[in-house]
A and B are shown apart, each in its own frame.
Chain A
Amino acid sequence: MNTIKNKLNVCKAVAFVTYKEWSAYRTHSMVSIFVGPVYFIVQYYIWTAVYGSAQTLYGMELSQMIRYFGASALIGYLTMDFADWNLSMLVRTGKFLTFALRPVNHRFFALSQKIGHRMLGFIVEFIPCFFIFTLLFRVDMTPASLPWTLISVALAFLMNFFINYCLGMASFWFVQSNGIRAVFSLISGVFSGSLIPLVFFPEWLQVLQFFLPFQYTAYIPVMVFLGKYSLGSVELSIPVVVTIQAAAVLVVFLVSELLYRASVRRFTAVGA
Protein backbone atom coordinates (compact mmCIF):
# COMPACT_ATOMS: atom_id res chain seq x y z
CA MET A 1 0.00 0.00 0.00
CA ASN A 2 2.81 2.39 0.92
CA THR A 3 4.65 1.50 -2.29
CA ILE A 4 1.59 2.37 -4.40
CA LYS A 5 1.09 5.61 -2.47
CA ASN A 6 4.76 6.47 -2.93
CA LYS A 7 4.60 5.78 -6.67
CA LEU A 8 1.47 7.91 -7.00
CA ASN A 9 3.22 10.78 -5.23
CA VAL A 10 6.24 10.47 -7.53
CA CYS A 11 3.97 10.35 -10.56
CA LYS A 12 2.02 13.41 -9.45
CA ALA A 13 5.20 15.39 -8.71
CA VAL A 14 6.90 14.53 -12.01
CA ALA A 15 3.73 15.11 -14.03
CA PHE A 16 3.18 18.49 -12.40
CA VAL A 17 6.78 19.63 -12.95
CA THR A 18 6.62 18.49 -16.59
CA TYR A 19 3.34 20.34 -17.04
CA LYS A 20 4.88 23.53 -15.65
CA GLU A 21 8.04 23.10 -17.71
CA TRP A 22 6.16 22.67 -20.99
CA SER A 23 3.62 25.41 -20.28
CA ALA A 24 6.54 27.82 -20.67
CA TYR A 25 6.46 26.67 -24.32
CA ARG A 26 2.71 26.50 -24.71
CA THR A 27 2.78 28.17 -28.14
CA HIS A 28 4.70 25.08 -29.26
CA SER A 29 1.62 22.99 -28.44
CA MET A 30 -0.81 25.63 -29.62
CA VAL A 31 0.42 25.19 -33.20
CA SER A 32 -1.92 22.18 -33.21
CA ILE A 33 -4.90 24.56 -33.01
CA PHE A 34 -4.05 25.66 -36.55
CA VAL A 35 -2.49 22.52 -38.01
CA GLY A 36 -5.14 20.05 -36.80
CA PRO A 37 -8.17 21.85 -38.31
CA VAL A 38 -6.30 22.54 -41.58
CA TYR A 39 -5.47 18.85 -42.06
CA PHE A 40 -9.06 18.01 -41.12
CA ILE A 41 -10.46 20.45 -43.73
CA VAL A 42 -8.32 18.80 -46.43
CA GLN A 43 -9.57 15.35 -45.38
CA TYR A 44 -13.15 16.64 -45.36
CA TYR A 45 -12.97 17.83 -48.98
CA ILE A 46 -11.03 14.78 -50.16
CA TRP A 47 -13.58 12.33 -48.80
CA THR A 48 -16.57 14.46 -49.81
CA ALA A 49 -15.24 14.33 -53.38
CA VAL A 50 -14.38 10.62 -53.18
CA TYR A 51 -17.84 9.74 -51.85
CA GLY A 52 -19.42 11.70 -54.69
CA SER A 53 -20.92 8.63 -56.29
CA ALA A 54 -20.68 6.07 -53.47
CA GLN A 55 -22.96 5.61 -50.45
CA THR A 56 -20.47 3.57 -48.49
CA LEU A 57 -16.85 2.52 -48.83
CA TYR A 58 -15.88 -0.63 -46.95
CA GLY A 59 -18.97 -0.26 -44.79
CA MET A 60 -18.27 3.37 -43.85
CA GLU A 61 -20.55 6.23 -44.80
CA LEU A 62 -19.23 9.73 -45.49
CA SER A 63 -20.38 11.04 -42.10
CA GLN A 64 -18.56 8.17 -40.36
CA MET A 65 -15.41 8.87 -42.39
CA ILE A 66 -15.47 12.54 -41.40
CA ARG A 67 -15.96 11.57 -37.74
CA TYR A 68 -13.14 9.04 -38.15
CA PHE A 69 -10.62 11.72 -39.08
CA GLY A 70 -11.93 14.13 -36.44
CA ALA A 71 -11.61 11.48 -33.73
CA SER A 72 -8.21 10.39 -35.05
CA ALA A 73 -6.88 13.96 -34.73
CA LEU A 74 -8.31 14.50 -31.23
CA ILE A 75 -7.19 11.11 -29.90
CA GLY A 76 -3.74 11.80 -31.34
CA TYR A 77 -3.45 14.87 -29.12
CA LEU A 78 -4.12 12.73 -26.06
CA THR A 79 -1.80 9.83 -26.90
CA MET A 80 1.20 11.29 -28.72
CA ASP A 81 4.61 11.24 -27.09
CA PHE A 82 8.32 11.37 -27.81
CA ALA A 83 9.63 8.98 -25.16
CA ASP A 84 11.89 7.44 -27.82
CA TRP A 85 13.57 10.74 -28.63
CA ASN A 86 13.92 11.66 -24.94
CA LEU A 87 15.49 8.34 -23.97
CA SER A 88 17.74 8.35 -27.01
CA MET A 89 19.02 11.82 -26.08
CA LEU A 90 19.66 10.78 -22.45
CA VAL A 91 21.65 7.72 -23.50
CA ARG A 92 23.65 9.51 -26.20
CA THR A 93 24.64 12.35 -23.86
CA GLY A 94 25.31 10.05 -20.91
CA LYS A 95 22.69 11.80 -18.80
CA PHE A 96 20.87 8.50 -18.33
CA LEU A 97 23.47 7.83 -15.65
CA THR A 98 21.70 10.22 -13.25
CA PHE A 99 18.50 8.25 -13.68
CA ALA A 100 20.30 4.96 -13.15
CA LEU A 101 21.43 6.32 -9.76
CA ARG A 102 17.96 7.46 -8.67
CA PRO A 103 15.55 5.21 -6.72
CA VAL A 104 12.98 5.64 -9.52
CA ASN A 105 12.59 3.41 -12.54
CA HIS A 106 13.25 5.66 -15.55
CA ARG A 107 10.39 4.13 -17.53
CA PHE A 108 7.99 5.07 -14.75
CA PHE A 109 9.55 8.54 -14.65
CA ALA A 110 9.11 8.90 -18.43
CA LEU A 111 5.48 7.75 -18.19
CA SER A 112 4.84 10.36 -15.49
CA GLN A 113 6.44 12.99 -17.75
CA LYS A 114 4.11 11.94 -20.56
CA ILE A 115 1.09 12.29 -18.27
CA GLY A 116 2.14 15.86 -17.42
CA HIS A 117 2.86 16.73 -21.03
CA ARG A 118 -0.44 15.36 -22.28
CA MET A 119 -2.31 17.21 -19.52
CA LEU A 120 -1.02 20.38 -21.16
CA GLY A 121 -1.93 18.94 -24.57
CA PHE A 122 -5.47 18.30 -23.32
CA ILE A 123 -5.86 21.96 -22.38
CA VAL A 124 -4.14 23.73 -25.30
CA GLU A 125 -4.65 21.19 -28.11
CA PHE A 126 -7.56 18.84 -27.45
CA ILE A 127 -10.12 21.27 -26.01
CA PRO A 128 -9.68 24.08 -28.61
CA CYS A 129 -9.69 21.60 -31.52
CA PHE A 130 -12.70 19.80 -30.07
CA PHE A 131 -14.64 23.07 -30.05
CA ILE A 132 -13.44 23.95 -33.57
CA PHE A 133 -14.57 20.58 -34.90
CA THR A 134 -17.95 20.57 -33.12
CA LEU A 135 -18.97 24.24 -33.22
CA LEU A 136 -17.24 25.55 -36.36
CA PHE A 137 -17.16 22.45 -38.58
CA ARG A 138 -20.35 21.00 -37.04
CA VAL A 139 -18.89 17.49 -36.80
CA ASP A 140 -20.64 15.20 -34.33
CA MET A 141 -17.83 14.27 -31.94
CA THR A 142 -20.03 12.38 -29.47
CA PRO A 143 -18.56 8.92 -28.86
CA ALA A 144 -20.79 5.87 -29.29
CA SER A 145 -19.90 4.87 -25.73
CA LEU A 146 -17.98 7.31 -23.55
CA PRO A 147 -16.73 4.79 -20.94
CA TRP A 148 -15.36 2.35 -23.57
CA THR A 149 -13.82 5.22 -25.54
CA LEU A 150 -12.06 6.53 -22.43
CA ILE A 151 -10.71 3.06 -21.60
CA SER A 152 -9.55 2.50 -25.17
CA VAL A 153 -7.87 5.91 -25.36
CA ALA A 154 -6.12 5.24 -22.02
CA LEU A 155 -4.87 1.90 -23.38
CA ALA A 156 -3.71 3.61 -26.60
CA PHE A 157 -1.90 6.16 -24.41
CA LEU A 158 -0.02 3.35 -22.68
CA MET A 159 0.57 1.38 -25.88
CA ASN A 160 2.05 4.40 -27.66
CA PHE A 161 4.31 5.06 -24.69
CA PHE A 162 5.59 1.49 -24.35
CA ILE A 163 6.24 1.17 -28.09
CA ASN A 164 8.14 4.46 -28.21
CA TYR A 165 10.05 3.57 -25.04
CA CYS A 166 11.10 0.24 -26.57
CA LEU A 167 12.27 2.14 -29.64
CA GLY A 168 14.20 4.55 -27.45
CA MET A 169 15.99 1.64 -25.85
CA ALA A 170 17.59 0.89 -29.24
CA SER A 171 20.03 3.67 -28.24
CA PHE A 172 21.52 1.33 -25.65
CA TRP A 173 22.47 -1.04 -28.44
CA PHE A 174 23.15 1.13 -31.49
CA VAL A 175 25.27 4.29 -31.76
CA GLN A 176 22.94 5.77 -34.35
CA SER A 177 19.34 4.80 -33.69
CA ASN A 178 17.71 7.74 -35.53
CA GLY A 179 17.25 5.67 -38.68
CA ILE A 180 15.51 2.85 -36.81
CA ARG A 181 13.17 5.31 -35.13
CA ALA A 182 12.44 7.11 -38.40
CA VAL A 183 11.58 3.86 -40.20
CA PHE A 184 9.36 2.72 -37.35
CA SER A 185 7.64 6.11 -37.23
CA LEU A 186 6.94 5.86 -40.96
CA ILE A 187 5.47 2.37 -40.76
CA SER A 188 3.51 3.29 -37.66
CA GLY A 189 2.07 6.35 -39.39
CA VAL A 190 0.71 4.23 -42.23
CA PHE A 191 -0.50 1.19 -40.30
CA SER A 192 -1.86 2.92 -37.22
CA GLY A 193 -4.86 4.04 -39.26
CA SER A 194 -4.24 7.76 -38.80
CA LEU A 195 -3.73 8.38 -42.56
CA ILE A 196 -6.56 6.17 -43.83
CA PRO A 197 -8.84 3.56 -42.17
CA LEU A 198 -7.11 0.18 -42.17
CA VAL A 199 -10.06 -1.45 -43.98
CA PHE A 200 -8.75 0.14 -47.18
CA PHE A 201 -5.68 -2.08 -47.12
CA PRO A 202 -5.60 -5.51 -48.80
CA GLU A 203 -7.13 -8.21 -46.63
CA TRP A 204 -3.86 -10.03 -45.90
CA LEU A 205 -2.37 -6.77 -44.57
CA GLN A 206 -5.45 -6.19 -42.43
CA VAL A 207 -5.06 -9.66 -40.86
CA LEU A 208 -1.37 -8.93 -40.23
CA GLN A 209 -2.37 -5.84 -38.20
CA PHE A 210 -3.73 -8.08 -35.42
CA PHE A 211 -0.16 -9.21 -34.74
CA LEU A 212 1.47 -5.80 -35.06
CA PRO A 213 1.20 -3.09 -32.39
CA PHE A 214 0.18 -0.21 -34.67
CA GLN A 215 -3.61 -0.46 -34.82
CA TYR A 216 -3.81 -0.42 -31.01
CA THR A 217 -2.50 3.16 -30.91
CA ALA A 218 -4.99 4.86 -33.23
CA TYR A 219 -7.31 2.64 -35.30
CA ILE A 220 -8.89 0.75 -32.38
CA PRO A 221 -9.65 3.79 -30.17
CA VAL A 222 -11.14 5.59 -33.19
CA MET A 223 -13.32 2.60 -34.09
CA VAL A 224 -14.39 2.28 -30.43
CA PHE A 225 -15.34 5.97 -30.62
CA LEU A 226 -17.42 5.22 -33.74
CA GLY A 227 -18.98 2.20 -32.03
CA LYS A 228 -18.16 -0.33 -34.75
CA TYR A 229 -14.98 -2.37 -35.29
CA SER A 230 -14.07 -4.45 -38.30
CA LEU A 231 -10.75 -5.49 -39.79
CA GLY A 232 -9.76 -8.33 -42.11
CA SER A 233 -13.44 -9.37 -42.51
CA VAL A 234 -13.61 -9.86 -38.74
CA GLU A 235 -16.22 -7.87 -36.85
CA LEU A 236 -15.80 -7.66 -33.12
CA SER A 237 -17.92 -6.11 -30.40
CA ILE A 238 -16.46 -3.14 -28.61
CA PRO A 239 -15.86 -4.92 -25.24
CA VAL A 240 -14.01 -7.72 -27.06
CA VAL A 241 -11.81 -5.37 -29.08
CA VAL A 242 -10.93 -3.30 -26.00
CA THR A 243 -10.04 -6.54 -24.16
CA ILE A 244 -7.75 -7.52 -27.05
CA GLN A 245 -6.23 -4.04 -26.91
CA ALA A 246 -5.61 -4.46 -23.16
CA ALA A 247 -3.93 -7.82 -23.79
CA ALA A 248 -1.73 -6.24 -26.45
CA VAL A 249 -0.71 -3.46 -24.04
CA LEU A 250 0.21 -6.12 -21.46
CA VAL A 251 2.37 -7.97 -24.01
CA VAL A 252 4.19 -4.78 -25.04
CA PHE A 253 4.65 -3.85 -21.37
CA LEU A 254 6.32 -7.21 -20.70
CA VAL A 255 8.54 -6.78 -23.78
CA SER A 256 9.53 -3.31 -22.58
CA GLU A 257 10.32 -4.70 -19.11
CA LEU A 258 12.60 -7.39 -20.55
CA LEU A 259 14.28 -4.88 -22.86
CA TYR A 260 14.70 -2.38 -20.00
CA ARG A 261 16.45 -4.90 -17.76
CA ALA A 262 18.73 -5.99 -20.59
CA SER A 263 19.45 -2.38 -21.58
CA VAL A 264 20.33 -1.20 -18.07
CA ARG A 265 22.65 -4.22 -17.64
CA ARG A 266 24.37 -3.22 -20.89
CA PHE A 267 24.52 0.50 -20.11
CA THR A 268 27.91 2.02 -19.47
CA ALA A 269 28.75 5.67 -18.98
CA VAL A 270 31.63 7.75 -17.71
CA GLY A 271 32.00 6.84 -14.03
CA ALA A 272 29.60 3.88 -14.20
Chain B
Amino acid sequence: MKKYMIIYRECAKISLSRMTAYRLDFVLSMIITLAGNVMFPLITVLIYNSGASFPGWSFYEVLLIQSVFTLSGGLSSMMLGGVLWTTMDHIREGSFEIVLLKPVNPLFFLIASNFEPESFGLLVGGGVLFGIAVSQTGIVSFAAFLQFLMLFAAGFAVMAGISLIMAATSFKWVGNSRIPEIFDSIKTFGKYPVTIFPKAVKSAATFLIPVSMIGFYPASALLGRLIPGTLLAMIPCVLFLLFGIWLYHYMIKLYEGVGG
Protein backbone atom coordinates (compact mmCIF):
# COMPACT_ATOMS: atom_id res chain seq x y z
CA MET B 1 0.00 0.00 0.00
CA LYS B 2 2.80 2.39 0.97
CA LYS B 3 4.54 1.63 -2.33
CA TYR B 4 1.43 2.62 -4.29
CA MET B 5 1.03 5.85 -2.33
CA ILE B 6 4.65 6.79 -3.03
CA ILE B 7 4.28 6.00 -6.73
CA TYR B 8 1.05 8.07 -6.95
CA ARG B 9 2.68 11.00 -5.15
CA GLU B 10 5.71 10.99 -7.44
CA CYS B 11 3.58 10.72 -10.60
CA ALA B 12 1.37 13.60 -9.40
CA LYS B 13 4.50 15.71 -8.77
CA ILE B 14 5.74 14.99 -12.30
CA SER B 15 2.35 15.93 -13.77
CA LEU B 16 2.33 19.18 -11.82
CA SER B 17 5.88 20.02 -12.96
CA ARG B 18 4.94 19.26 -16.56
CA MET B 19 1.88 21.50 -16.38
CA THR B 20 3.68 24.41 -14.77
CA ALA B 21 6.44 24.33 -17.40
CA TYR B 22 3.92 26.12 -19.65
CA ARG B 23 2.21 28.23 -17.00
CA LEU B 24 0.04 30.37 -19.27
CA ASP B 25 -1.19 27.32 -21.18
CA PHE B 26 -1.96 25.66 -17.81
CA VAL B 27 -3.96 28.62 -16.53
CA LEU B 28 -5.82 28.99 -19.85
CA SER B 29 -6.66 25.26 -19.89
CA MET B 30 -7.97 25.53 -16.34
CA ILE B 31 -10.15 28.50 -17.20
CA ILE B 32 -11.47 26.95 -20.41
CA THR B 33 -12.24 23.61 -18.67
CA LEU B 34 -14.05 25.48 -15.93
CA ALA B 35 -15.99 27.73 -18.30
CA GLY B 36 -17.07 24.78 -20.42
CA ASN B 37 -18.49 22.94 -17.45
CA VAL B 38 -20.38 25.78 -15.82
CA MET B 39 -22.48 26.36 -18.93
CA PHE B 40 -25.34 24.22 -17.70
CA PRO B 41 -25.80 26.29 -14.51
CA LEU B 42 -26.10 29.22 -16.94
CA ILE B 43 -29.05 27.45 -18.56
CA THR B 44 -30.62 27.04 -15.11
CA VAL B 45 -30.13 30.76 -14.44
CA LEU B 46 -31.86 31.65 -17.71
CA ILE B 47 -34.77 29.28 -17.04
CA TYR B 48 -35.40 30.67 -13.55
CA ASN B 49 -34.98 34.26 -14.79
CA SER B 50 -37.81 33.65 -17.22
CA GLY B 51 -40.12 32.99 -14.27
CA ALA B 52 -40.26 29.25 -14.83
CA SER B 53 -38.76 26.58 -12.56
CA PHE B 54 -38.29 22.88 -11.96
CA PRO B 55 -41.36 21.90 -9.91
CA GLY B 56 -40.54 21.59 -6.21
CA TRP B 57 -37.01 22.93 -6.58
CA SER B 58 -35.81 26.46 -5.96
CA PHE B 59 -33.03 27.98 -8.05
CA TYR B 60 -30.39 27.55 -5.35
CA GLU B 61 -31.42 23.94 -4.73
CA VAL B 62 -30.91 23.14 -8.43
CA LEU B 63 -27.64 25.09 -8.35
CA LEU B 64 -26.57 22.92 -5.41
CA ILE B 65 -27.21 19.76 -7.45
CA GLN B 66 -25.19 21.14 -10.36
CA SER B 67 -22.35 22.38 -8.17
CA VAL B 68 -22.00 18.94 -6.55
CA PHE B 69 -22.03 17.42 -10.07
CA THR B 70 -19.25 19.83 -11.11
CA LEU B 71 -17.19 19.04 -7.99
CA SER B 72 -17.49 15.31 -8.63
CA GLY B 73 -16.64 15.86 -12.30
CA GLY B 74 -13.59 17.91 -11.39
CA LEU B 75 -12.27 15.34 -8.96
CA SER B 76 -12.75 12.40 -11.33
CA SER B 77 -11.31 14.36 -14.26
CA MET B 78 -8.23 15.23 -12.21
CA MET B 79 -7.64 11.66 -11.09
CA LEU B 80 -8.98 9.56 -13.97
CA GLY B 81 -9.55 11.87 -16.93
CA GLY B 82 -6.44 10.87 -18.84
CA VAL B 83 -6.84 7.08 -18.54
CA LEU B 84 -9.06 6.78 -21.64
CA TRP B 85 -6.85 8.85 -23.96
CA THR B 86 -3.60 7.29 -22.74
CA THR B 87 -5.04 3.78 -23.12
CA MET B 88 -6.29 4.65 -26.61
CA ASP B 89 -2.92 6.10 -27.65
CA HIS B 90 -1.00 3.11 -26.31
CA ILE B 91 -3.26 0.63 -28.11
CA ARG B 92 -3.15 2.55 -31.37
CA GLU B 93 0.63 2.87 -31.27
CA GLY B 94 1.19 -0.67 -30.00
CA SER B 95 3.02 0.54 -26.90
CA PHE B 96 0.64 -0.85 -24.28
CA GLU B 97 3.13 -3.67 -23.66
CA ILE B 98 5.43 -1.12 -22.03
CA VAL B 99 2.70 -0.44 -19.47
CA LEU B 100 2.13 -4.16 -18.95
CA LEU B 101 5.86 -4.76 -18.33
CA LYS B 102 5.97 -2.37 -15.40
CA PRO B 103 6.16 -3.98 -11.93
CA VAL B 104 2.86 -2.42 -10.80
CA ASN B 105 -0.77 -2.97 -11.66
CA PRO B 106 -1.18 -1.46 -15.17
CA LEU B 107 -4.48 0.24 -14.30
CA PHE B 108 -2.94 1.83 -11.22
CA PHE B 109 0.05 2.98 -13.25
CA LEU B 110 -2.16 4.62 -15.87
CA ILE B 111 -4.26 6.34 -13.19
CA ALA B 112 -1.19 7.59 -11.35
CA SER B 113 0.66 8.79 -14.46
CA ASN B 114 -2.38 10.64 -15.80
CA PHE B 115 -3.03 12.98 -12.92
CA GLU B 116 -4.45 16.12 -14.60
CA PRO B 117 -3.90 19.28 -12.55
CA GLU B 118 -5.68 21.52 -15.07
CA SER B 119 -8.98 20.02 -13.91
CA PHE B 120 -8.34 21.85 -10.64
CA GLY B 121 -10.21 24.74 -12.22
CA LEU B 122 -13.35 22.61 -12.19
CA LEU B 123 -12.91 21.92 -8.49
CA VAL B 124 -12.48 25.63 -7.81
CA GLY B 125 -15.50 26.56 -9.92
CA GLY B 126 -17.62 23.80 -8.44
CA GLY B 127 -16.54 24.88 -4.98
CA VAL B 128 -17.55 28.48 -5.62
CA LEU B 129 -20.96 27.44 -6.97
CA PHE B 130 -21.35 25.08 -4.01
CA GLY B 131 -20.57 27.87 -1.58
CA ILE B 132 -23.09 30.20 -3.23
CA ALA B 133 -25.80 27.54 -3.23
CA VAL B 134 -25.21 26.42 0.36
CA SER B 135 -25.16 30.02 1.60
CA GLN B 136 -28.77 30.35 0.39
CA THR B 137 -30.13 26.87 1.12
CA GLY B 138 -28.21 26.15 4.31
CA ILE B 139 -27.30 22.66 5.55
CA VAL B 140 -29.99 20.96 7.57
CA SER B 141 -27.71 19.26 10.13
CA PHE B 142 -24.28 17.74 10.72
CA ALA B 143 -25.77 14.28 10.14
CA ALA B 144 -27.00 15.53 6.76
CA PHE B 145 -23.46 16.67 5.96
CA LEU B 146 -22.10 13.22 6.82
CA GLN B 147 -24.73 11.65 4.57
CA PHE B 148 -23.65 14.08 1.86
CA LEU B 149 -20.02 12.97 2.18
CA MET B 150 -20.97 9.28 1.89
CA LEU B 151 -23.19 9.90 -1.13
CA PHE B 152 -20.57 12.17 -2.73
CA ALA B 153 -18.06 9.33 -2.41
CA ALA B 154 -20.61 7.01 -4.04
CA GLY B 155 -21.06 9.56 -6.84
CA PHE B 156 -17.31 9.69 -7.34
CA ALA B 157 -17.35 5.88 -7.58
CA VAL B 158 -19.88 6.21 -10.43
CA MET B 159 -17.69 8.75 -12.25
CA ALA B 160 -14.69 6.49 -11.76
CA GLY B 161 -16.67 3.51 -13.06
CA ILE B 162 -17.67 5.50 -16.15
CA SER B 163 -14.05 6.53 -16.83
CA LEU B 164 -12.87 2.93 -16.53
CA ILE B 165 -15.66 1.53 -18.73
CA MET B 166 -14.81 4.15 -21.39
CA ALA B 167 -11.14 3.22 -21.22
CA ALA B 168 -12.00 -0.50 -21.42
CA THR B 169 -14.19 0.15 -24.48
CA SER B 170 -11.23 1.69 -26.28
CA PHE B 171 -9.48 -1.70 -26.37
CA LYS B 172 -12.02 -2.88 -28.90
CA TRP B 173 -13.35 0.37 -30.36
CA VAL B 174 -9.86 1.54 -31.25
CA GLY B 175 -9.29 5.19 -32.00
CA ASN B 176 -12.88 6.36 -31.59
CA SER B 177 -12.56 9.77 -30.00
CA ARG B 178 -16.33 10.01 -29.52
CA ILE B 179 -16.54 7.40 -26.75
CA PRO B 180 -16.70 10.14 -24.06
CA GLU B 181 -19.69 11.68 -25.87
CA ILE B 182 -21.73 8.51 -25.27
CA PHE B 183 -21.17 8.65 -21.54
CA ASP B 184 -21.43 12.43 -21.33
CA SER B 185 -24.90 12.17 -22.82
CA ILE B 186 -25.92 9.60 -20.17
CA LYS B 187 -24.40 11.74 -17.40
CA THR B 188 -26.69 14.60 -18.43
CA PHE B 189 -29.51 12.84 -16.56
CA GLY B 190 -27.53 13.45 -13.36
CA LYS B 191 -27.30 17.22 -13.84
CA TYR B 192 -30.96 17.92 -13.09
CA PRO B 193 -33.41 16.96 -10.32
CA VAL B 194 -34.20 13.32 -11.02
CA THR B 195 -37.83 13.97 -9.97
CA ILE B 196 -38.51 15.54 -13.37
CA PHE B 197 -37.98 12.20 -15.11
CA PRO B 198 -40.52 9.37 -15.30
CA LYS B 199 -40.21 6.39 -12.94
CA ALA B 200 -38.43 4.12 -15.44
CA VAL B 201 -35.74 6.73 -16.16
CA LYS B 202 -35.42 7.52 -12.44
CA SER B 203 -34.88 3.84 -11.63
CA ALA B 204 -32.34 3.39 -14.43
CA ALA B 205 -30.47 6.53 -13.33
CA THR B 206 -30.42 5.30 -9.71
CA PHE B 207 -29.77 1.57 -9.98
CA LEU B 208 -28.55 0.68 -13.47
CA ILE B 209 -26.18 3.49 -14.46
CA PRO B 210 -26.44 5.47 -11.20
CA VAL B 211 -25.71 8.95 -12.58
CA SER B 212 -28.25 10.47 -10.14
CA MET B 213 -25.77 9.76 -7.38
CA ILE B 214 -23.26 12.19 -8.92
CA GLY B 215 -25.20 15.34 -8.06
CA PHE B 216 -28.84 14.82 -7.11
CA TYR B 217 -28.71 12.48 -4.11
CA PRO B 218 -25.73 14.11 -2.33
CA ALA B 219 -27.40 17.52 -2.75
CA SER B 220 -30.71 16.10 -1.51
CA ALA B 221 -28.91 14.82 1.59
CA LEU B 222 -27.63 18.33 2.37
CA LEU B 223 -31.14 19.69 1.94
CA GLY B 224 -32.65 17.02 4.19
CA ARG B 225 -34.75 15.75 1.29
CA LEU B 226 -33.52 12.17 1.17
CA ILE B 227 -36.25 9.56 1.26
CA PRO B 228 -35.65 6.62 3.62
CA GLY B 229 -33.61 3.85 2.05
CA THR B 230 -31.72 6.13 -0.35
CA LEU B 231 -28.43 5.17 1.28
CA LEU B 232 -29.01 1.69 -0.16
CA ALA B 233 -28.58 3.28 -3.59
CA MET B 234 -24.87 3.45 -2.77
CA ILE B 235 -24.63 -0.30 -3.37
CA PRO B 236 -25.19 -0.07 -7.17
CA CYS B 237 -22.56 2.70 -7.26
CA VAL B 238 -19.92 0.50 -5.66
CA LEU B 239 -20.92 -2.39 -7.93
CA PHE B 240 -20.65 -0.05 -10.92
CA LEU B 241 -17.09 0.89 -9.96
CA LEU B 242 -16.14 -2.74 -9.37
CA PHE B 243 -17.60 -3.59 -12.78
CA GLY B 244 -15.47 -0.88 -14.39
CA ILE B 245 -12.31 -2.21 -12.73
CA TRP B 246 -13.17 -5.80 -13.67
CA LEU B 247 -13.96 -4.83 -17.30
CA TYR B 248 -10.67 -2.98 -17.72
CA HIS B 249 -8.68 -5.94 -16.39
CA TYR B 250 -10.71 -8.31 -18.58
CA MET B 251 -9.88 -6.21 -21.64
CA ILE B 252 -6.20 -6.33 -20.71
CA LYS B 253 -6.42 -10.14 -20.68
CA LEU B 254 -7.94 -10.08 -24.18
CA TYR B 255 -5.35 -7.58 -25.43
CA GLU B 256 -3.03 -8.78 -28.16
CA GLY B 257 -0.27 -6.43 -29.07
CA VAL B 258 2.59 -6.74 -31.53
CA GLY B 259 4.85 -9.45 -30.13
CA GLY B 260 2.55 -10.11 -27.15
Asked whether any CB of chain B lies closer than 8 Å to the CB of A27, the reply is: yes
Partner of A45, one of B35, B186, B197: B197
List, in ascending order, chain B residues with CB within 8 A of A25's CB: 176
Task: Classify chain B's interface size.
Answer: 20 to 34
Q: Are B25 and A179 in contact (CB under 8 A)?
A: yes
> B52 to nearest A CB, angstroms?
5
Partner of B196, one of A31, A38, A49: A49
Q: Are B53 and A50 in contact (CB under 8 A)?
A: yes
Asked whether any CB of chain A lies closer than 8 Å to the CB of B199, the reply is: no
**What does the 1/0 interface line of A170-202 toward B look like (CB < 8 Å)?**
000000100100110010011000011000110
Surface stretch bound by A, among B43-51, B97-105, B251-259: B43-51
Surface stretch bound by B, among A52-60, A151-159, A239-247: A52-60
Q: Are A186 and B39 in contact (CB under 8 A)?
A: yes
Partner of A196, one of B46, B55, B181: B46
Q: Are B188 and A39 in contact (CB under 8 A)?
A: yes
List, in ascending order, chain B residues with CB within 8 A of A4's CB: none
Chain B residue at minimal CB-CB distance from A29: B178
Instruction: From known contacts A179-B32, A186-B36, infer whether A35 and B185 are also in contact, taking CB-CB under 8 Å.
Output: yes
A183–B236 alpha-carbon span in the complex (Å):
38
Partner of A201, one of B25, B46, B51: B46
Q: Are A190 and B42 in contact (CB under 8 A)?
A: yes
Task: Classify chain A's interface size.
Answer: 20 to 34
> A218 to nearest B CB, angstroms?
15
List, in ascending order, chain A residues with CB within 8 A of B25's CB: 176, 179
Asked whether any CB of chain B lies closer than 8 Å to the CB of A28, the reply is: yes
**What does the 1/0 interface line of A9-38 toward B look like (CB < 8 Å)?**
000000000000000010110010011001
Instruction: From known contacts A38-B186, A45-B201, A46-B196, infer whether A186 and B32 are also in contact, taking CB-CB under 8 Å.
Output: yes
Asked whether any CB of chain A lies closer than 8 Å to the CB of B4, the reply is: no
List, in ascending order, chain B residues with CB within 8 A of A31's CB: 176, 178-179, 181-182
List, in ascending order, chain A residues with CB within 8 A of B198's CB: 45
Partner of A50, one of B47, B178, B179, B189: B47
Q: Are B55 and A46 in contact (CB under 8 A)?
A: no
Chain A residue at minimal CB-CB distance from B29: A179
Instruction: From known contacts A27-B176, A186-B35, infer whether A39 and B185 are also in contact, taking CB-CB under 8 Å.
Output: yes
Q: Are A34 and B182 in contact (CB under 8 A)?
A: yes
Asked whether any CB of chain B lies closer than 8 Å to the CB of A101, the reply is: no
**What does the 1/0 interface line of A105-147 toward B look like (CB < 8 Å)?**
0000000000000000000000000000000000000000000
Binding site for B on A (CB under 8 A): 25, 27-28, 31, 34-35, 38-39, 41-42, 45-46, 48-54, 57-58, 176, 179, 182-183, 186, 189-190, 195-196, 200-201
Query: Beyond A31-B179, A179-B32: 17 further Cβ-contacts under 8 Å?
Result: A25-B176, A35-B182, A38-B185, A38-B188, A42-B188, A42-B189, A46-B192, A46-B196, A48-B196, A50-B47, A54-B51, A54-B52, A57-B50, A57-B51, A179-B29, A186-B39, A200-B49
A-B contact pairs, 7 of them (CB 8 A): A28-B176, A35-B182, A41-B201, A50-B54, A57-B52, A179-B29, A182-B36
